[in-house]
Amino acid sequence: MKRINLGIKGMHCQSCSMLITDSLKEQEGIIDVNISHSKGVAAIAYDEKKVSLEQIKVIIRKEGYGVE
């Protein structure tokens, strides 16, 4: 299991963070997601054998948000 913190741009409210969280949790290999929309940070735990960091970033971008 690997843990990462990603900066996310464009979140304005709790609904934004919930949308990203739900999308990430649909992906096999995502273990835990904790997003703070006020800080613009996502803490994600994942199984790197099932999902890559790039795949995680693509999921966030597909929802319309920037990711660092």
> Any idea what the CATH number is for the domain that residue 56 is in?
3.30.70.100
The predicted model scores a pTM of: 0.92
Let me know: does 25 contact 18? Beta carbons within 8 Å: no
With cut-offs at 50, 70 and 90, classify the pLDDT of residue 68.
confident
pLDDT in tens, 29-51: 999 999 999 999 999 999 999 99
Tokens of 33: 């997601």
With cut-offs at 50, 70 and 90, classify the pLDDT of residue 56.
very high
Number of folded domains that form the chain: 1
Domain encompassing residue 53? 2-67
